[in-house]
A and B are shown apart, each in its own frame.
Chain A
């Protein structure tokens, strides 16, 4: 049970932060903390892929956006004009559709959020699987460019498709009722509840990934990272493990995308942009490539500061600078930076 102790501490922290904001009268911080938690789910998935399986992905914002956009489109696209057609009647009979009113009181028939979310996540999973088979055969620059190319295609498709709202994105996305009384929504009264939903999800995702890296799979992944050919020779099916990890991290990104979209009530094309993917990579790099807790805490801190608008118009520049500085001086991440040994190395000169 030792493994779960940090998770329990995290849970206690989550509760204390909520109480703290309550007592200090700063509950508005909870909104950004909720969003930061969802982004951190993407980041721990990417950390698993980059740090443990050693595969870079510059297209993770693509999976996030596939989740968010599909869920948003399915829950807002009005099916009333097709209500006489067989497939709509069938979907309605199974209970996959829900009738409601839009912002202007017009009748709206769209997918139930649960169905939409499942479709979105499964789609992301299938795409990750299909794209993962060829793309994970690539290495180094080719892998980086391949995943970057995938991300740009996703961005372009969302930006150019009318059904996804082109440059405006999709707004007026309804809340997502997980259980009766538990709804992912951005409405004012639900702020505290949603804070707990987001952090609950982050803790579950952490538990899942921590379990994974301490299992046979995790050891196989680390072997792949260290020396892929050697791992292959030892009988590890490296291609399968890499693909599984890729799909899992894509699913985590898509789930986060679905939840955050319902929480924000909308999604825009910038969520799919290259800069978002690069931002995820830079946060994983800061936390230390193979350091889940580091990646998670950096994900929370940096996203929170960025969402609070601390970096102003230098937002992208800050993440670019972070990337360079970390990679130049502390490629293992700042939480691994062993200053003492570095200092010794420098003072020791050329003796070694």
Chain B
């Protein structure tokens, strides 16, 4: 393998990896406040991309993306309010099935609105043949956009959770819900907020990745499974673990293409998921005793 090809694989792996990490962080945010896995997480990414593409037809791209993220956040909040907020002590099985049903419904609605066609946003800078030279290899500037935006998102999120009152309230909610309620935190609002937040970051990721990966109505499912793989690998609930695991999975996938047919690419990441579930369900970076405390 030439060094140029090697670097190409590395960049492809990092690009996808950081996207998986964002999806995984979306899972983590909701998991931390509610203890449920939102199977519709991948659909937020698809929705963000699709809405931005539609809006971009009659407004500047920046405005379209901002609006798309906000609309998806509203959808996320609505989903929580309509389908989850009012349930009394729902079982995990029930919540799993509800979020699965939601992901199907969102996908079908998207199919009826946007059809089966593959769409994409235009490249942020230049077009599909524009390339810049880095370390002796040529990559599209969009790759840098994806990595840059996602990195900024991760940084902002960790600052948000550490230094703002709202973020600390959400963390309190994650640590101990009852205690948080006793301290006067409205835990129900925190759950709605967590849905909005993870819908928002998913939608933004969906917008920046759209020029490279394209957007289709059923694109969310695959992303959700990869994102879940990454969330488990990094240890459910750990955002930094998710970033490391995301990059790792992205690189593994990118290099697997050189040895196995492309059709098996998905099978590889899912096999990794199964192996991790069987061998180390608390994740590569999570602590076993901490995982044992979580409810399942």
Contacts and interface: CB of A to CB of B under 8 A. Distances in A.
A146 B96 CA distance: 13
Contact of B273 (A137, A149, A323): A149
Contacts of B271: 153
Given A56-B96, A278-B104, A328 B264 contact: no
Contacts of B102: 320, 324
Contacts of A160: 261, 263-264, 267
B58 interface: no
B281 A138 contact: yes
Nearest to A54: B93
Contacts of B108: 314, 316-317, 320
B98 A324 contact: yes
A308 interface: no
B61 interface: no
A94 B207 CA distance: 62
Interface in A201-247: none
A305 interface: no
A193 interface: no
A149 B101 contact: no
Interface residues of A, number: 41
A128 B214 CA distance: 37
Interface string B252-277: 00000000010110110011011001
B97 interface: yes
A274 B218 CA distance: 12
Nearest to B261: A160
A152 B270 contact: yes
A328 B87 contact: yes
Contacts of A144: 37, 96
Nearest to B39: A144
A275 B103 CA distance: 11
Contacts of A281: 97, 100
Contacts of A156: 263-264, 266-267, 270
B144 interface: no
B109 interface: yes
Given A145-B37, A156-B264, A156-B266, A328 B225 contact: no
A284 to B, nearest CB: 10
Contacts of A137: 278
A258 interface: no
A97 interface: no
Given A141-B37, A156-B263, A156-B266, A323 B104 contact: yes
A305 B196 CA distance: 37
Task: Give the contact-size bracket for chain B.
Answer: 35 or more
Interface string B25-37: 0000000000011
A285 interface: yes
A139 interface: yes
Interface string A151-168: 011001101100000000
B263 A149 contact: no
A157 B267 contact: yes
A95 interface: no
B104 A316 contact: yes
B92 A141 contact: yes
B221 interface: yes
A225 to B, nearest CB: 11
A34 interface: no
B179 interface: no
A152 to B, nearest CB: 5
Contacts of A56: 93, 96
A323 B225 contact: no
A159 B262 CA distance: 12
Nearest to B274: A149
A142 B100 contact: no
A150 B266 CA distance: 12
B156 interface: no
B267 A141 contact: no
Nearest to A275: B104
Contacts of B161: none
A139 B296 CA distance: 6
A136 to B, nearest CB: 11
A58 B224 CA distance: 15
Contacts of A186: none
Contacts of B11: none
Given A140-B96, A323-B98, A145 B277 contact: yes
Given A150-B274, A327-B94, A328-B87, 14 more contacts: A140-B295, A141-B36, A142-B232, A146-B274, A152-B266, A152-B267, A282-B101, A320-B104, A320-B105, A322-B101, A323-B104, A324-B101, A324-B105, A327-B101
19 contacts: A58-B100, A137-B278, A140-B93, A140-B295, A145-B232, A145-B277, A146-B273, A146-B277, A153-B270, A153-B271, A160-B261, A278-B100, A316-B107, A320-B103, A323-B104, A324-B83, A328-B83, A328-B98, A331-B90
Interface of B: 36-37, 83, 87, 90-94, 96-98, 100-105, 107-109, 112, 221, 225, 228, 232, 261, 263-264, 266-267, 270-271, 273-274, 277-278, 281, 295-296
The 5 closest A-B pairs by CB, nearest first: A320-B104, A323-B101, A160-B263, A140-B296, A317-B108
